Chains A and B, each alone.
Chain A
Amino acid sequence: AQSVTQLDSQVPVFEEAPVELRCNYSSSVSVYLFWYVQYPNQGLQLLLKYLSGSTLVKGINGFEAEFNKSQTSFHLRKPSVHISDTAEYFCAVNLKAAGNKLTFGGGTRVLVKP
């Protein structure tokens, strides 16, 4: 079975500073990787996804993530955050051989301070 670990439950960061959200997964088979963002009392919005190809993936709102197969990681980064980036961020894994079921990490709450 696969699992997803988001190492930081909460990340405070000042406006215009960079941020990195860590995500590690465990799986014995190939996976697809996703990052979603959830604003308060809302559903999830897809930030970016890795299916194949280039290991550096660019998403919406200036976010990017890098797939590292040897370290089984898919860390999310943004070089300069805005107040509006305050939200909960979820990393998720989709086993290639298990259809579309997603396994989510525990989430990382990003709080951007002025």
Chain B
Amino acid sequence: GAVVSQHPSRVICKSGTSVKIECRSLDFQATTMFWYRQFPKQSLMLMATSNEGSKATYEQGVEKDKFLINHASLTLSTLTVTSAHPEDSSFYICSATTSGDGLTDTQYFGPGTRLTVL
């Protein structure tokens, strides 16, 4: 149980284009999803938290107009990198938590999406 998928697993795009990454919880309802960014040989940096049906909460320093997050249903959240540039190249990972006792819920992570902007 608690499987999270991401699509695509890998994407290469030209500078200036937009890229959408999907994050799905396959066997549970995810009231909260998180988006992380990971640079090579570094830890995960939280970008934003999204709750189903409401606007995402972005961490300090993350441009909300550049990284658009939509959490339209209890099983799907999307991250759109708008007008991507080479410095946006990174490994993007999502995670999801179930509802219930929100203080003890565990984050279940997707397999990640590697974005390369040429």
Chain A interface (Cβ < 8 Å from any Cβ of B):
32, 34, 36, 41-46, 49, 51, 90, 94, 96-97, 99-102, 104-107, 109
Chain B interface (Cβ < 8 Å from any Cβ of A):
4, 6, 32, 34, 41-44, 46, 49, 91, 93, 95, 97, 102-112, 114
Residues of B within 8 A of A106 (CB): 42-43
Which of B6, B106, B111 contacts A34, CB < 8 Å? B106
Is B108's CB under 8 angstroms from A46's CB? yes
Which of B4, B43, B105, B114 contacts A107, CB < 8 Å? B43
Give Cα A51–Cα B110 distance, bound, in whole angstroms.
22
Residues of A within 8 A of B107 (CB): 100, 102
Residues of B within 8 A of A90 (CB): 43-44
Which of A32, A44, A101, A107 contacts B93, CB < 8 Å? A44
Closest approach, in angstroms, between the C-beta of B29 and any C-beta of chain A? 15
Is B43's CB under 8 angstroms from A43's CB? no
